[in-house]
Amino acid sequence: MARKNIPALEVVPPSGSALVGVARRDITPPVGIYARMWGAAKHDRSEGTHKPLSTTALTIRKSKNDKPLVLVSIDLALLGDLGGVDDERAIMGPVLDGLGVDRRHIIVNCTHTHSAPWTALSRAHMPGGDLLPGYQNHLGVAIREAVREALATAVPATFTWATGRCSLAANRDLPDPDKSKKRIVCGYNPNLPADDTVVVGRVTRDGDGSVLATVVNYACHPTTLAWDNRLISPDFIGAMRETIECHTGDAPCLFLQGASGELAPAHDYVGDTDVADKHGRQLGFAALSALESMLAPRHKLTYRGVMESGAPLAVWLPEKFQPSTLVASDGFDIPLPLKKMPTVTEMEAKIAACKDRTMAERLFRKLQIVKTLGGSGTFNMPAWVWRIGSSLIIAHPNEAYSCFQQDLREAFPGFAVVVMNTSGAELGYINPPAMFDKNVYQVWQTPFDKPALGVLTKTCIQRAKKLVALPDKRGR
């Protein structure tokens, strides 16, 4: 099969080469800790454990002489309370001081399971709240020690990325069937599409090609288990990790929560842990399918010409290539516009007058947000944009709708684009402007005003373009 005068055709998977380490720690809380994540729940304390909670750290640097980038996945809904800046400092302060890592170089992504404890000292006075200060301390120690181990055991490794599909996530903005309510309720809407993108990363040791770690980035609220569940649980993430890890030699899997503001499972809000496990296997098998689609590490698919047979057959074969070694990062604050909010005094008066347990919880959450904001017209929220070879990793603390990740991926074709919500101290939802004309939870919950999503998206794209433009002699 001659190759003379054949134009160069090749498909190069998004890849990157770096010094990479991974480690995990258990963060399962003691039974009886305050764990009322749901306003409708009749209980306050956890009564057992479905599956362990964990935190997994991935460290990335070009060489031992470079400052590391640290990516942490942790089985929590939030890093503190809503607006829990002090809680985040309490957890992350010892981590940053103990490791000497700049806050712009570490992303802590909460998987967003709604069956984990509130890691918030604002709730220390509630039943089981006496266990929260010790648990916060345990979280900081666990993160710090996982990062230390990852740094100490790091090896030359290669990232390979692929995109898959999973139908677990469904749109959850349902017009109330009771037309007199004139509102949108938070639950499965079969008439609207959902972003089903799964971005999967495989990290392999350069020495022997074995799997060091996997990364799964998917946008779907882990709200399978709801008010009837009294067990601590990672929700579907637990079974997802088990499914993947048993097929990858027990290599740790990091789940990174995507832009899931309007996305959740269709079969949702149950007390049956079997449903959560089924959801996890569904996502796990979808991620494994994407992993199986990958070529061997450091291989691209190259057109080799035509073999004349019963038909002229185009022959593509794997061929080695050298991935990019570029590792770069940008961490910054974005001033997001705020709606007019009530004062702390007004919120405290409403709570004092409220006799309904569910409504009191709703008001308490809003009070924590108001306490954080300080009454200005904007609030600075952190964001991160990293580049590892031909992949971009973009994160922020709040809950953006999935159009955020869709716009980012459209802006950078040819790159694997990992997008994360719930990374840091969250305040609320980041909604499309059209949602502000509707009576919907995500709008009345959030302190952010209509332009916020546009500001967030535009800023992240601008910052990412600067990293994409960096000179890189190998790969993209």
pLDDT of residue 322: 96
Mean pLDDT, residues 268-296 taken together = 98
Q: What is the pLDDT of residues 170-211, one digit of tens each?
A: 999 999 999 999 999 999 999 999 999 999 999 999 999 999
pLDDT of residue 476: 41
Task: Check residue 464 and give left, alpha or beta (phi > 0: left; psi -120 to 50: alpha).
Answer: alpha
Is residue 44 within 8 A of residue 127, CB to CB? The reply is yes
In the predicted structure, residue 329 carries a pLDDT above the cut 60: yes
Phi, psi of 253 (to 5 degrees): -110, 125
Mean pLDDT, residues 220-239 taken together = 98
Q: What is the pLDDT of residues 296-315, one digit of tens each?
A: 999 999 999 999 999 999 99
pLDDT of residue 374: 79
Percent of the chain predicted with pLDDT > 90: 90
Mean pLDDT, residues 287-291 taken together = 98
Distance CA 55, CA 143 (A): 7
In the predicted structure, residue 401 carries a pLDDT above the cut 90: yes
In the predicted structure, residue 5 carries a pLDDT above the cut 80: no
Band of pLDDT at residue 4, cut at 50, 70 and 90: low
Angle CA 453–172–398, to nearest 5:
35
pLDDT of residue 376: 79
pLDDT of residue 1: 54
Angle CA 248–18–412, to nearest 5:
90
Q: What is the pLDDT of residues 146-174, one digit of tens each?
A: 999 999 999 999 999 999 999 999 999 99
Phi, psi of 177 (to 5 degrees): -60, -25
Mean pLDDT of the chain: 95
Question: Which are the contacts of 289, defined by CB distance < 8 A and separation ≥ 6?
Answer: 164
Distance CA 122, CA 86 (A): 10
In this structure, which amino acid lies at residue 59? T
The pTM of the full predicted model, rounded to 2 decimals, is: 0.96
In the predicted structure, residue 410 carries a pLDDT above the cut 90: yes
pLDDT of residue 472: 82
For the chain, count helices (H), then strands (E).
9, 21
Mean pLDDT, residues 408-415 taken together = 97
Q: What is the pLDDT of residues 129-142, one digit of tens each?
A: 999 999 999 999 99
Percent of the chain predicted with pLDDT > 70: 98
pLDDT of residue 475: 43
In the predicted structure, residue 213 carries a pLDDT above the cut 70: yes
In the predicted structure, residue 367 carries a pLDDT above the cut 80: yes
In the predicted structure, residue 474 carries a pLDDT above the cut 80: no
Q: What is the pLDDT of residues 447-467, one digit of tens each?
A: 999 999 999 999 999 999 999
Helix, strand, coil percent values for the chain (each to nearest 5): 30, 30, 40
Where are the chain's structural domains? 15-297+328-338+376-468
Strand pairing class (211-218; 169-171): unpaired
